[in-house]
């Protein structure tokens, strides 16, 4: 599984569609995703303080667009990037992603 962080309001809009194409697809050419282990770092860097988030659990095997693991930002870590619109039938689970009691976003167990 790979994961993508999304706001509840955006999910409510796109969940009625068959594909998801966030702004990053146009600006960066791909959809940013993370492994389970990368989620806490990504959340701290880009989503700190947010309380309206969900995790999309995406099955790599049912993705239609190309999935590439790459280190584009010289972080010495490979991140999964989806090169195309995410077919929503590859989303196998929606996981609520609220901050913990200390206000930190950690992967829910």
What token pair was written down for 103?
């206000």
82: in domain: yes
107: in domain: no
How many domains is the chain partitioned into structurally?
Answer: 1
78: in domain: yes
Looking at residue 84, its pLDDT comes to: 98
- pLDDT of residue 109 exceeding 80, the answer is no
21: in domain: yes
State mean pLDDT over 73-78: 90
Looking at residue 66, its pLDDT comes to: 98
109: in domain: no
**Residue 73 CB contacts under 8 Å (≥ 6 apart), including other chains:** none
105: in domain: no
SS3 53: strand
CATH of the domain at 67: 3.20.170.20
Looking at residue 8, its pLDDT comes to: 97
22: in domain: yes
What does the angle CA 63 – CA 67 – CA 72 come to, to the nearest 5 degrees? 150
Contact call for residues 93 and 74 (beta carbons, < 8 A) = no
pLDDT tens-place string over residues 38-57:
999 999 999 999 999 999 99
- Structural domain of 87: 2-96
Contact call for residues 107 and 100 (beta carbons, < 8 A) = no
The model's pTM: 0.93
103: in domain: no
């Amino acid at each position: 599984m790979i994961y993508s962080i999304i706001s509840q309001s955006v999910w409510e809009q796109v969940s009625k569609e068959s594909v998801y194409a966030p702004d990053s697809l146009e600006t960066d050419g791909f959809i940013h995703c993370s492994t389970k282990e990368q989620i806490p770092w990504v959340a701290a860097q880009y989503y700190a303080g947010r309380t309206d988030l969900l995790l999309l659990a995406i099955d790599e095997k049912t993705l239609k667009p190309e999935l590439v693991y790459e280190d584009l930002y010289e972080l010495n870590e490979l991140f999964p990037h989806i090169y195309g619109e995410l077919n929503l039938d590859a989303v196998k689970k929606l996981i609520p992603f609220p901050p913990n009691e200390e206000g930190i976003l950690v992967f829910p167990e």
